[in-house]
């Protein structure tokens, strides 16, 4: 093997690589110079104005705190009492007449709209008969209405009954028409 030949070949190869690399570096440098952005020179202005800052006015005092007016709650409206002339009972009895079912069904529908409503069912009687009999009769009538409402789906916990006998008349007991008005059931909304 001839050493000078190998050396010469190696030398020539490296020389071509070197020149190629050098040419590449020159092209890269030219490229970088072309991409370089120009810096703009800032020229100072001829006059410099001094701005005097005007003193800011003192902040306005905060508005006075509003005086809290304690509103008194509106007087509670008196809870209504419902007297139903068409809740009818058999003579001298707590048994409901079938004519009463229509009004009791309407009451049931209203009570089912708000299941939290509690009502008191008050039974009353006229002066005919003894005080004990009228008291018992008024309780029986109130309980008959309660039983009807419970059977229609009203929660019994929302219903209370009271009997007043002839102690709270709404009309005179001197005439039959007055006594008929006193034989009644009142429904009071409690809550």
Q: Which of 18-32, 44-58, 81-95, 131-145 has the lowest mean pLDDT?
A: 44-58
- Assigned token pair, 30: 């030219």
Per-residue pLDDT, 36: 62
* Range with the largest mean pLDDT of 26-35, 100-109, 154-163: 154-163
Q: How far apart are the first and last CA of the chain?
A: 121
Q: How confident is the model at residue 144 (pLDDT cuts 50, 70, 90)?
A: very high
Mean pLDDT of 175-183: 85
Per-residue pLDDT, 145: 94
Residue 162 near residue 187 (C-beta atoms within 8 A)? no
Task: Quote the CA–CA distance of 142 and 164 in Å, as a whole number.
Answer: 10
Q: How confident is the model at residue 30 (pLDDT cuts 50, 70, 90)?
A: confident
- Assigned token pair, 185: 């059931």
What percentage of the chain has pLDDT greater than the value 90? 25
Global confidence as pTM: 0.56
Per-residue pLDDT, 142: 95
Where do the structural domains in the chain lie, given as residue ranges? 81-189
Task: Quote the CA–CA distance of 131 and 33 in Å, as a whole number.
Answer: 123
- Which residues, including other chains, have CB under 8 Å from residue 37's CB and lie 6 or more apart? none
What does DSSP say about strands 81-83 and 185-189: parallel, antiparallel, or unpaired?
antiparallel
Per-residue pLDDT, 68: 60
Q: Which of 79-83, 116-120, 159-163 has the lowest mean pLDDT?
A: 79-83
What is residue 133's DSSP assignment? H
Mean pLDDT of 97-111: 88
Asked if pLDDT for residue 90 goes beyond 60, the answer is yes
Distant-in-sequence contacts of 147-154, Cβ < 8 A, 24+ apart: 148/96, 148/101, 148/104, 149/104, 149/107, 149/108, 149/111, 149/121, 152/104, 152/105, 152/108, 153/108, 153/112, 154/108, 154/111, 154/112
Angle value at C-alpha 184, between 121 and 81, nearest 5 degrees: 50
> Is CATH 3.30.1330.60 what the domain over 81-189 is classified as, yes or no?
yes
Per-residue pLDDT, 55: 64
Q: Which of 10-19, 92-101, 102-111 has the lowest mean pLDDT?
A: 10-19
| HEC-encoded secondary structure of 61-120 | CCCCCCCCCCCCCCCCCCCCEEECCCCCECCCCCCECHHHHHHHHHHHHHHHHCCCCCEE
- Assigned token pair, 1: 């093997």
Mean pLDDT of 163-188: 88
């Amino acid at each position: 093997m001839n050493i000078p030949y190998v050396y010469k070949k190696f030398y020539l190869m490296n020389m071509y690589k070197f020149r190629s690399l050098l040419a590449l570096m020159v092209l890269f440098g030219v490229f970088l110079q072309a991409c370089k952005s120009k810096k703009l020179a800032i020229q100072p202005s001829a006059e410099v104005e001094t701005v005097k800052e005007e003193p800011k006015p003192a902040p306005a005092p905060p508005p006075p705190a509003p005086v809290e007016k304690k509103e008194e709650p509106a007087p509670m409206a008196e809870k209504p009492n419902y007297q139903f002339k068409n809740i009818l009972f058999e003579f001298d009895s707590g048994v409901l007449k079938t004519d009463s079912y229509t009004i009791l069904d309407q009451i049931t529908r209203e009570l089912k709209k708000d299941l939290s409503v509690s009502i008191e069912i008050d039974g009353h009687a006229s002066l005919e008969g003894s005080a004990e009999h009228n008291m018992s009769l008024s309780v029986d009538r109130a309980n008959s209405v309660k039983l009807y409402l419970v059977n229609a789906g009203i929660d019994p916990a929302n219903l209370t009954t009271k009997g007043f006998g002839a102690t709270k008349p709404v009309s005179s007991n001197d005439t039959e028409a007055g006594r008929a008005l006193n034989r009644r059931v009142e429904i009071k909304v409690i809550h």
